[in-house]
Amino acid sequence: MKRKGVGFSLPVAVVMMVIGFVYFSTVFTFIDRWFSLTSSPGIANAAAFTALALMCVYSYSIAVFRDPGRVPPSYMPDVEDQESPVHEIKRKGGDLRYCQKCSHFKPPRAHHCRVCKRCVLRMDHHCIWINNCVGHTNYKVFFVFVVYAVTACVYSLVLLVGSLTVESQDEDEEMGSYLRTIYVLSAFVLISLSIALGVLLVWHIYLSLQNKTTIEYHEGVRAMWLAEKGGQVYKHPYDIGPYENLTLILGPNVLSWLCPTSRHIGSGLRFRTAFDSVPVSSESKP
């Protein structure tokens, strides 16, 4: 996979600092106070949370640095291709999708990002928190990161609440004030992140089950309204069934769904549709 250029990003730096704060407060405050890091339960919880944090950092890093998908300069839509019954067109004029800013045709599901200043394959949205677009090649790792992040936040909240049930007689007034600050700040951060990331996760699960991007969802709302107005029924062309949709996005092997790998995604120039009579074998190739 190609990697995009590296540059400083304040939102990315903030995310990494938050991950670091949550990790150290969870391991060295919550787990240590509840179980003690020298006990078997303490070591087990510290190891489990460390593994979860490492997966968060790893999947987040891939989402940040991996290029979301570029349109090949030589791309040209084949309107006579009998195996590709869906050719997306502009809303007006009926012409094949052409990007005036990039000066090339756009494949199905590709969109121009005004921030990145180029077309992105299967673009979902531009995310300031990864300083990158979420597109064809990094959508899965973005999704996996959100899953790990939500799990880590809920896990940390459980450990925070559990550690509050432990009373220590050895803490002086200064240490007690320090701990109160850590608990109040951690509770605020963890509750806020759990709610925000939880909503984001539910949203992308909903999109994945229908094989839609965020852009396609909003375009589909208007298309559905226009279809109903004309007495027709609108169906998203890339929706081939909940399980099949998930396998196209997360991979054919269920055991690898939470692994930040994307070898199954194909070229991003063509996708299976509800109109295909047989699966497109080329989309299973890297």
Q: Token pair 């179980």 is at which residue?
A: 35
Question: Region 21-39: what's the mean pLDDT?
Answer: 96
In this predicted model, what pLDDT tens digit does every residue of 245-265 receive, in sequence order? 999 999 999 999 999 988 889
Give the containing element (helix H, strand E) for 242.
helix 242-250
Residues 215-240, mean pLDDT to the nearest whole number: 79
Give the three-state DSSP class for 188.
helix
Examine the pLDDT at 233 and tell me if it is beyond 90. Answer: no
pLDDT digits (tens, 9 = 90+) for 106-152: 999 999 999 999 999 999 999 999 999 999 999 999 999 999 999 99
What integer pLDDT is reported at residue 222 of this predicted model?
74
Tokens of 87: 């050719």
- pLDDT at residue 78, as a whole number: 73
Task: Specify the pLDDT at position 236.
Answer: 86
Residues marked as catalytic:
127
- List Cβ neighbours of 2 (8 Å cut-off, separation of 6 or more): 66, 67, 70, 137
Place of tokens 């092997």: 253
Q: What is the pLDDT of residue 169?
A: 63
Question: Does the structure show a pLDDT above 50 at 98?
Answer: yes
Which letter, b or e, does each residue of 138-176 get, where b requires 16 or more Cβ atoms within 10 Å of its Cβ? bbbbbbbbbbbbbbbbebbbebbeebeeeeeeeeeeeee
227/196: higher pLDDT: 196
Residue 4 pLDDT exceeds 70: no
For residue 8, the model assigns a pLDDT of 83
- As to burial, measured by CB atoms within 10 angstroms (0-12 exposed, 13-18 middle, 19+ buried), residue 243 is exposed
pLDDT at res. 178: 87
Confidence of residue 220 (pLDDT cuts 50, 70, 90): confident
Q: Which residues contact 61 (CB under 8 A, 6 or more apart)?
A: none
Q: d(Cα 152, Cα 54) in Å, to the nearest integer?
A: 11
- Across 81-108, average pLDDT: 70
> What is the structure's pLDDT at 86?
54
Half-sphere exposure of 43 (CA within 13 A, CB side): 3
pLDDT(93) > 60:
no
Question: pLDDT value at position 12?
Answer: 97
Contact predicate 101/120, CB 8 Å: no
Per-chain mean pLDDT for the chain = 87
Give the pLDDT score at 283. 46
| Cα–chain center distance at 160 | 26
